[in-house]
Structures are given as C-alpha cells and as structure tokens.
Structure 1
Amino acid sequence: DRYVVDCMIKNNFNLGGEQSGHIVMMDYTTTGDGIIAGLNILATIIKEQKPLSHYSNIIEPYPQVLFNIKVKEKKDYNLISEIKIVVDSADKEIKEKNGRLFIRYSGTEPKLRIMIESRDEKIIEKWQNELKDVFERYLGGNNG
C-alpha cells in the first residue's frame, strides 16, 4: 500500500488501489481496508438507490503488463542518462495514449518492478522490450 499512498498524495487522489484488491480511501485511512471499502460501496448503493451492477462498467480496464528486472544494486536510475532517456520517452508516449508507466524498486528483493498499462498493446510490447533491455544493460540484471 505504501507506493499507492505515495502516488495518491503526490497526485492529490482520494481513492487508490492495487491489483491485490487493496483499496485505500484517504478520507478514512492510509492503508487498504476491505471493511471501509465495502461499507462505502454499500452506502453508495443505498444513497443512489441503484444496484451494484449499475457500477460495474465505470472503470474500463486497460491491457497491462507487470515485469521484474533483477538488479545488482538499487541505483537511482534517473542519474544514468541512457536509462533516463528511454524512461522519459516511454513515459511520454504511454501517457499520450492515456496509459501509465510505473517503475519502482522492490522493498524486499534486488528487483526493479515495472508496470505498463495502455489501450494499445503494441505500445506495451514496444516499451516492455526497450525498458527491459536498457535496465538490464545498465543495472546488470536479468529478467526475473
């Protein structure tokens, strides 16, 4: 939840979540809490007097890929110009297609975690390959 909350604070979001099912509602707590999320869903259903199925199409899922890069050392990759150029280019193109790029180091393993999300699967594939190549080249890891 830590990275979700950090992103929420940075972007002034009130609602955030992750694929594991954790939902964070900043009005109530800074951690994923299923009971609070469930109670808020029930409150919305009662207030709006609409069935749960009414809300099922609100969020449009995009194709997404998650992958890890093994690293020798958790360096600030933004200080490595070759990596920064590729990351900045990827971020720009992915955002232009209403997608997202999220890169962070694992908190427990020598790995870099990368998530790419876009409606355009060709964009995902292109940047997955390019990011994997540049990070492995400069941070000394293998995909894992």
Structure 2
Amino acid sequence: MRADIGIALDGDADRVVVTDETGKVIDGDQLMAVIAESWLKRGRLAGGGIVATVMSNLGLQKYLEGLGLTVERTPVGDRYVVEHMRQHGYNVGGEQSGHVILSDFSTTGDGLVTALQLMAVVAQSGKPVSEVCNRFERMPQILENVEYKSGISPLDNVNVERAIKDANARLGDSGRLLVRASGTEPVIRVMGEGADASLVQTVVNELVEVLRTAA
C-alpha cells in the first residue's frame, strides 16, 4: 500500500508528526518553516517571524533568516512559546516535537489545524510532501544527559563554567551550545549543534566529562 502523506497525533491531538511519501519523518521545525513561509507570501504572518524554543534546530533559524524573518527563542515548553507570542504579536510558534501554535485559530497547539495548513500548501504546490517539507538541512545536533546528586548542581562548579565558556568559543558563530538543568529531575542536559558534526561531538563529549567529574 502506498500513501502520499502520513499524519499522526498524540493522545490529546495538540501535537502532530508527519511522514512524507518515502516514510521520512517531518518534525515540528520543518512544519513551522513551511507554514511561516506560506503565511509570509500571503501577507498573513505576524511579528516578522516565529517563536520557537531553545531546542529548535539551528537550520530552521538560518533558513528563516534567509527569508528576512526572525526566530525568537524561549525555554522548553509550549506555555513559554504561547506567552512570548501573546506579548510580542506573533501568530506562529511551536516546538520541534510537533507542538505548533497557530494563534489565528487557537490559543494552544492543535495537530489537526497544523496538518490542514500543511496539506493546503502541498495541494497548492502540486509537489510531493518530501519536496514541500524539505525546507532546510538540519544541522547536526547532539544531546546528552548528565545525572548528579539532588541539590548539588555541577553548573555551579568553576571548572564547569570554564568548560562551557571554552566550548562556546570553539563552536563560534557556526554552532551553539545549550546547557541547562532539568526542571523535573537531577539531570543536566547538554545540547551541541553546528555545521561541523565532528567538532560538535568532540565539544559535547569533553563538556560531559567535565560535568560528570564535577557531579
């Protein structure tokens, strides 16, 4: 059996994940790129860009900047995205996970509305989903978790602070580093991203070792 598109919603239908005709998964970053560009062309996009979280891929940011749009970043969590959208007049925002907020239609994520907006773009283009939704090349992104004893955060360690500063300097303008404490468990989350996959992996590995030593 063959299908042109696959659409999957989570339990309460506020998130959506799409697959193209080849079976490739299309995440929320690509969905936001497609919708933002479509709304820009139609004069519908508000705020001059979109709102995404710190976890959205740098490739999304570079692509939208090439269209003259901005990407405002918030902490992880749709409530932060919605709050920023309301305060600064944006009508497109969301998360890499497929939680996309289109405030012209709803005050929260709606997977069905997002899917319908995507299908409208596909139908108007006459092109396959794989072509429509391949708006940008994802930059290599490495995620690591470091556990620590509750109440003793290694982020306060001088050696860790120095290692983070050094890692940021090594990535430079071609990448970025995100180091944050989990809000639900004693874990430090490390995300490195950049054009050079080998450099990103090396920088993340070295920082994780410093964090583990401090923990």
TM-score by length of 2: 0.50
Deviations 1:20-72 (A, max 9, x none): x32322534454x32232122123334x4343333232121222221110111
Q: Does 1:81 align with 2:154?
A: no
In structure 2, distance between residues paired with 1:118 and 1:3: 20
In structure 2, distance between residues paired with 1:54 and 1:34: 21
Task: Say which SS state the counterpart of residue 76 (structure 2) adopts.
Answer: helix
Q: Which residue of 1 aligns with 2:170?
A: 93
Count of residues in Structure 1 that have an aligned counterpart in Structure 2: 132
Native 8 Å contact 1:74 1:105 kept in 2: no
Native 8 Å contact 2:192 2:201 kept in 1: no
Q: Does 1:3 align with 2:81?
A: no
- Which residue of 93, 97, 104 maps to 1:15? 93
Q: Which residue of 1 aligns with 2:209?
A: 133
Show structure 1 runs of 5+ residues with no match: none
Change (3 A) 1:135 1:90: same
Native 8 Å contact 2:148 2:154 kept in 1: no
Between the aligned residues of both structures, percent identity stands at 26
- Which residue of 179, 182, 190 maps to 1:114? 190
In structure 1, distance between residues paired with 2:159 and 2:108: 36
In structure 2, distance between residues paired with 1:36 and 1:74: 43
Change (3 A) 1:29 1:112: farther
TM-score by length of 1: 0.69
Q: Does 1:66 align with 2:146?
A: no
Deviation at 1:95, TM superposition (A): 4.5
Task: Say which SS state the counterpart of residue 66 (structure 1) adopts.
Answer: strand
Query: Structure 1 or 2: larger strand share?
Result: 2
In structure 2, distance between residues paired with 1:91 and 1:124: 10
- Which residue of 93, 109, 130 maps to 1:53? 130
Please tell me the root mean square deviation across aligned C-alpha atoms, in Å. Answer: 3.1
- Which residue of 85, 103, 106 maps to 2:179? 103
Which 4+ runs in 1 deviate beyond 6 A? none
Query: Structure 1 or 2: larger helix share?
Result: 1
Show structure 2 runs of 5+ residues with no match: 1-52, 54-74
In structure 1, distance between residues paired with 2:126 and 2:152: 48
Task: Say which SS state the counterpart of residue 3 (structure 1) adopts.
Answer: coil
Task: Say which SS state the counterpart of residue 137 (structure 2) adopts.
Answer: coil
In structure 1, distance between residues paired with 2:146 and 2:139: 23
Deviation at 1:112, TM superposition (A): 1.0
Task: Say which SS state the counterpart of residue 15 (structure 1) adopts.
Answer: strand
